[in-house]
Structure 1
């Protein structure tokens, strides 16, 4: 671990508390989730502490260290999925934002962490003016080639002022699964207030901490994901920065997410009853108490032991096992469970930026689907958030006797084409 590349978290980025941390779980030293390697040969691979704590004052779940974002994001291999599941979801995001904001023709929608511009293309098709902001230079170039104007920078107050001067105020500022990547939330929200129209809405999609705990999606914990939010935690954050929570919707993507909108505290938007109901549920169901996080850690240990035993048991019986989907969360899963080339033959993935490389830490070759010469007996489904779609697409593999191992919330083998989750 390079000391210059990381910063230790001492104060809660939501409420500022420095003394109320509850240790939750430590996964030890783990490589960066998207640091795919050019070779499987042994070499010095950078690893960083992957530890989770919970702020007892506001119940933010946080990593204990922050890796330099320049290291993480300037060149980024993750490309927004064009799966059926994600395409439908993006259309739903457009519908919800339009329903909440009453978007008019030509209103400006700015997306933070806009990747290759796929979400903004859906807004553009609905009649909005669009602008992306993404620090990944490789992805910004792809977005521009698709006709989505993109600012290749991190979003802060300075970037916001420049955008407002050039393009006007935004009716919607959207951040889909990027807000949890940001360390300095105060700076980002200051930028949002400067760019947001008087009655505009700041809308973020984040993994929901309730679903993380209930669904045991521990593999979604990796160095890019600094924060894991309850609605009550976000409500506290917004109030500290002159915003007010307006609406929330629970969504099924990525193991369970929430789409939360906030407006200026003085804006005309009322706070929907759904916000109050979820905050009350979090309190009444015990998500503000230590015990919920103690149970979470205990269940992680049980699931990891069970998955490792299942995979090694299949291999000992002469079965061939490989991985399906070189996802970021797969880095956590494989490294925490100690699974690698001794148990798994390869990892197949459709992302060209990952093909021909090796998975971080576990060093499995990443193959394009067409390069898989002989199917294994079982696939460990690292991209389990697309389980239903993948199993429908791979029905021939299942009908030929293959199986998919879905690792969470507990390891289970599926040999039927359709899975109910």
Structure 2
């Protein structure tokens, strides 16, 4: 009995082509306890496709979001630069949307209140919609009212009925995480005032391809957007894209500003500019997506060669960070504790646990200062400036930092990107 045909979650087409095949890995945020090391660990294919009809790059929905997001290991507030990014966003959004003390701001996938805490501090009303029980409680502890639920058209209608229409609906770094993109978009519209604004930040496929950011592909990311495909996704829920900003987060993201379709708002020149850049890169055709897999293989080969040579020379290599993207990299490359002794992370939730699949132990950051390794492999490369500053003491014993993407780079702590 053959496998069921893959169906595009946006347009329903069955004509899907391979984008890159990263093998099979466990869900990237299911960190293992010591007891779990003795048990089985499920893995799922990590093989995104591109739709020939609408060009959406997507993963088949092989995992249930309920299993991943009910208790979640990622707390946004552990990144100081991300909290500051959110603060600046709230300031800019307040001006753009003309928010006042009477305004309501709702965030879908509000995590631990990293963003809405700034809305509350400015005296505006705020409501978070967050499916993860543990991080949602952290938000409530900060004074951010939070509904524990996945966003759907029904959830959106319930939030609006209880709190009123939202002047601004935010969905930062979640639009890739939902398998029902149409239902989620309808949920955004359901919460929105008829003259309101929606702001979405999501990784940009253009930069993912240009800078070979294959490690940002994992099972929690069900789709990967260009502005072209985002326009189609937003339209499925009754929203029109009116403006776009390019932002540096997560290696290169797009901030989409949308409004209800019935408003008939026009698009800014910025939208046309980014669409033209995507077409120039070939991302307006299926054929333009080819070649990415070759670049990914080259990154794996270069990193493995470095780690093997370091091991042969008796050098110690440890990791910094335990992000989801790091687990895609580790599993695709087949890196185990013999090549990467351990990694460290600022999030206490992960201490004493092990990376999924590769089973590399995770320790507090202080372990690096105690052990003085020769090399530190930086897994959250998107926070390069912040982490380089945190790792400045590595220079004291002659250690070096290793950045694997977009190409292998071994640098002195404090060095600027090449």
Residue 349 of structure 2 aligns to a residue whose secondary structure is coil
Q: Which residue of 1 aligns with 2:32?
A: 37
1:26 aligns with 2:13: no
Aligned residue runs from structure 1 range 319-398, under 5 A: 319-372=315-368, 373-398=370-395
Structure 2: tracts of 5 or more residues without a match: none
Structure 2 residue matching 1:212: 3-state secondary structure: helix
Give the drift of 1:371.
4.1
> Do structure 1's residue 138 and structure 2's residue 134 form an aligned pair?
yes
1:202 to partner: Cα distance: 1.6
Counterpart contact for 2:21–2:293, Cα < 8 Å? no
State the distance in 2 between where 1:403 and 1:130 align: 44
Contact 1:80 1:116 in 2 (8 A): yes
Closer, same or farther: CA 389–223 of 1 in aligned 2, 3 Å: same
For 1:206, the equivalent position in structure 2 comes to 202
C-alpha contact 2:240 2:260 (8 A) present in aligned 1? yes
Which of 115, 120, 123 is equivalent to 2:116?
120
TM-superposed deviation, 1:399? 4.0
Task: Quote how far apart the aligned CAs of 1:291 are.
Answer: 4.1
Partner of 1:224: 220
Question: In the alignment, is residue 412 of structure 1 matched against residue 413 of structure 2?
Answer: no
Secondary structure (helix, strand or coil) at the match of 2:17 reads strand
- How far is the alpha carbon of 1:299 from its aligned partner? 0.1
Cα drift, residue 376 of structure 1: 1.0
CA offset at residue 41 of structure 1? 4.0
Partners of 2:80 and 2:5 lie apart in 1 by 38
1:63 corresponding residue in structure 2:
59
Give the structure 1 partner of residue 185 of structure 2.
189
> Once the 2 structures are TM-superposed, how far is the Cα of residue 396 of structure 1 from its aligned partner?
1.9
Single out whichever of 57-66 and 285-294 deviates more from structure 2: 285-294
CA apart distance, 1:413: 0.4
Distance 2:395 2:5 in 1: 46
CA positional deviation for 1:419: 2.4
Question: Counterparts of 2:382 and 2:4 in 1: how far apart (Å)?
Answer: 31
Instruction: Find the aligned partners of 2:77 and 2:372 in 1 and give their Cα distance.
Output: 23
Unmatched runs of 5 consecutive residues or more in structure 1 = 1-6
| 2:12 is the counterpart of 1:13 | no
Q: Distance in 1 between matches of 2:382 and 2:362?
A: 19
The TM-score normalised by the length of structure 2 is 0.95
Show CA shifts across 1:80-110 (max 9, x none).
0443421331123213322331212221111
Three-state SS of the structure 2 residue aligned to 1:22 is strand
Residues 330-355 of structure 1 deviation map (CA, whole Å, 9 limit, x = unaligned):
11100100111111111110101101
Alignment pair present for 1:315 and 2:314:
no
Q: Does 1:111 align with 2:107?
A: yes
2:398, 2:350 → 1: CA distance? 28
Q: Name the SS of the counterpart of 1:199 in structure 2.
A: strand
Structure 1 equivalent of residue 174 of structure 2 = 178
Q: Structure 1's 94 and 125: CA in aligned 2 closer, same or farther, altered over 3 A?
A: same
Contact 1:387 1:419 in 2 (8 A): no
Q: Say if 1:181 and 1:224, in contact at 8 Å, map to a contact too.
A: yes
* SS of corresponding position for 1:278: helix
Q: Secondary structure at the match of 2:328?
A: helix
The two structures have a TM-score, normalised by structure 1, of: 0.94
Answer yes or no: is 1:234 the counterpart of 2:230: yes
The offset of 1:224, in angstroms, is 0.2
- How do 1:40-55 and structure 2 match up within 5 A? 41-55=37-51
Separation in 2, partners of 1:314, 1:367: 22
How many Å separate the matches in 2 of 1:396 and 1:283? 44
Q: Name the CA distance, whole Å, in 2 between partners of 1:334 and 1:346.
A: 12
Task: Report the Cα offset of residue 142 of structure 1.
Answer: 1.0
Note the C-alpha offset of 1:9.
7.5
Alpha-carbon deviation of 1:268?
5.8
Provide closer, same or farther for how the CA distance between residues 400 and 362 of structure 1 changes in structure 2, counting only shifts above 3 A: same
Provide the rounded CA distance (Å) in 2 between the counterparts of 1:365 and 1:8: 37
Q: Is the 8 A contact 1:321 1:345 kept in 2?
A: yes
